[in-house]
């Protein structure tokens, strides 16, 4: 085995199942001649779940970097007056001011600044309660959030700086290549580790981290205080704070990674616009083997018989997948007289409150006998259970489930987000000649979703044509062996 690669994984593999985790597992298994060490970046140790994947033999280690310590008390400390806060001030400028690529080079975060020794960031962690850092926080408050209640700002401040300081204090395993699966905290850790240990870096971005964080910000309860929205000026300041933090973290990654990879053209254009040098970027789509190719022959063709048309969603039950849009679409279909059944297949424990609210909606609409939450299921079994796949996501990159369903001969109804349109209509000229393998609906529009599903229910010939096109598209244009060859080449080149 060759080329020690350290994968930096934020909130995904091997503890959380889903599209990114499945791709990571596929990549590790597809490169048996490479050794991998894994660093899982999680919120806190208390949130860690059981391992969801059997780690392949070429995974040599699994380490953990946690961003928060729940219930940590910030104690007042003295004797910290002599430490140089210039590096922390540069971190502030990088996170909160208009992005400057010279500051964002990150050299100052490791050993290239006179004020930083090997234990600098660890010393900061141990002295968060010092007067010097208190004054630093007060300065941030006056500059950026003076309309926010100060007690609430202290929480925001600690939630911003402490996770990043912990990352910078963390020691990753020695590796030749540090490969992060997102920008964000994992991206910062990969860059810091490479600078400390003399490695090179690859970023593979599935979804757009800063865009998805902005969606989170817009719906987060921390935008409320005492159960009510605070004065408008305060909410604007809070939103601007977090927007700047996550946008600048992503721009740091785009500017500094040795190789920036994404799955489709929309994200590629965004990365370049956000600072990634085009010469360092490339599009490398997900790939799929032949594990689902026999399912269609077992199922046969939907013939519009008197049996129920089985609609399926495969994925996590979380707000970004907009399960509630699907529930309303199913209600529309029932009221139109369609004989249907819906299976929502995937984990429900990532956002328990959202899952419970979905169950309440099902009960309120009296859909208990139509919509079934199955929990996780083997992919092959899931696709044998349904007649079409439906995705109602408000944000996606290049969903692996579309590739899997198409390979299994199932037409897809999906919202027009991320790469979904090119996945069902074709990306290249040759790909487009195959014809569509699914139908597009508007995000957040249950009526649009139900209209597209109705076309499949009422037209068996259309169903069969989309099915055939999908199987051909996967076989011709989404070959996992090309994916493996390309990453092997990237790892080898950067390890030289």
Which of the four CATH numbers 3.30.70.890, 3.40.50.9100, 3.40.50.2000, 3.40.50.1220 does domain 295-478 have? Answer: 3.40.50.2000
Give the tens place of pLDDT for each residue, 398-446. Answer: 999 999 999 999 999 999 998 999 999 998 899 999 999 999 999 999 9
Cβ–Cβ under 8 Å, residues 345 and 465: no
Give the tens place of pLDDT for each residue, 462-488. Answer: 999 999 999 999 989 998 999 999 999
Minimum mean pLDDT range among 36-40, 70-74, 373-377 = 70-74
Of the pLDDT bands very low, low, confident and very high (cuts 50, 70, 90), residue 212 is confident
Amino acid 215: pLDDT: 79
Amino acid 303: pLDDT: 56
Mean pLDDT for the chain? 88
Q: Residue 341 corresponds to which tokens in the numbers above?
A: 């059944």
Strand blocks (E) in 274-411: 281-283, 309-314, 340-345, 371-375, 388-391
Phi, psi of 488 (to 5 degrees): -60, -40
- pLDDT for 8 beyond 70: yes
- Higher-scoring residue by pLDDT: 11, 303: 11
Give the tens place of pLDDT for each residue, 118-132. Answer: 588 888 888 888 888
Amino acid 77: pLDDT: 55
Amino acid 113: pLDDT: 46
Per-residue pLDDT averaged across 249-266, rounded? 93
Q: Where are the domains of the chain?
A: 41-283, 295-478
Strand order in the sheet with 388-391: 371-375, 340-345, 309-314, 388-391, 412-415, 438-441
Per-residue pLDDT averaged across 234-260, rounded? 91
| Nearest by Cα to 215 from 327, 321, 314, 325 | 321
Amino acid 116: pLDDT: 62
């Amino acid at each position: 085995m060759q080329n020690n690669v350290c994968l930096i994984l934020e909130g995904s593999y091997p503890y959380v199942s889903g599209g990114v985790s499945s791709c990571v597992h596929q990549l590790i298994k597809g490169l048996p001649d490479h050794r991998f060490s894994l660093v899982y970046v999680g919120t806190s140790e208390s949130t860690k779940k059981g391992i969801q994947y059997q780690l392949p033999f070429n995974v040599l280690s699994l380490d953990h970097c946690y961003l928060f310590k729940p219930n940590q008390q910030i104690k007042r400390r003295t004797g910290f007056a002599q430490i140089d806060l210039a590096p922390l001030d540069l971190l502030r400028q990088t996170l909160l001011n208009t992005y400057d690529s010279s500051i964002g080079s990150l050299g100052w975060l490791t050993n290239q600044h006179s004020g930083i020794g090997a234990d600098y960031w660890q010393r900061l962690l141990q002295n968060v309660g010092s007067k010097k850092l208190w004054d630093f926080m007060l300065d941030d408050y006056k500059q950026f959030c003076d309309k926010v209640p100060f007690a609430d700002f202290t929480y925001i401040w600690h939630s911003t700086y402490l996770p990043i300081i912990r990352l910078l204090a963390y020691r990753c395993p020695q590796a030749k290549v540090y490969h992060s699966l997102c920008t964000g905290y994992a991206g910062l850790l990969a860059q810091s580790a490479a600078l400390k240990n003399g490695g090179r870096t690859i970023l593979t971005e599935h979804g757009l981290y800063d865009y998805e964080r902005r969606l989170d910000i817009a719906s987060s309860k921390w935008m409320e205080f005492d159960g009510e929205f605070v004065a408008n000026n305060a909410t604007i300041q809070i939103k601007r704070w977090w927007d700047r933090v996550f946008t600048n973290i992503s721009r740091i990654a785009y500017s500094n990674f040795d190789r920036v990879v994404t799955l489709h053209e929309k994200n590629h254009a965004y990365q370049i616009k956000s600072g990634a040098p085009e010469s360092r970027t490339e599009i490398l789509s997900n790939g799929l083997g032949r594990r689902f190719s026999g399912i269609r022959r077992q199922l046969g063709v939907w013939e519009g018989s008197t049996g129920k048309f089985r609609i399926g969603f495969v994925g996590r039950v979380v707000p970004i997948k907009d399960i509630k849009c699907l529930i309303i679409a199913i209600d529309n279909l029932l009221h139109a007289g369609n004989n249907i059944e819906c299976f929502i297949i995937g984990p429900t424990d990532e956002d328990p409150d959202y899952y419970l609210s979905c169950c309440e909606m099902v009960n309120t609409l009296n859909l208990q006998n139509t919509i079934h939450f199955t929990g996780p299921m083997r992919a092959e079994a899931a696709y044998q259970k349904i007649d079409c796949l439906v995705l109602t996501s408000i944000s996606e990159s290049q969903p692996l489930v579309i590739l899997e369903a198409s390979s299994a001969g199932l037409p897809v109804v999906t919202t027009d987000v991320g790469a979904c349109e090119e996945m069902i209509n074709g990306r290249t000229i040759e790909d487009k000649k195959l014809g569509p393998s699914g139908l597009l609906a508007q995000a957040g529009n249950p009526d649009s979703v139900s209209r597209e599903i109705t076309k499949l229910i009422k037209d068996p010939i259309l169903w069969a044509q989309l099915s055939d096109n999908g199987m051909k598209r996967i076989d011709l244009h989404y070959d996992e062996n090309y994916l493996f060859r390309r990453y092997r080449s990237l790892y080898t080149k950067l390890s030289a």
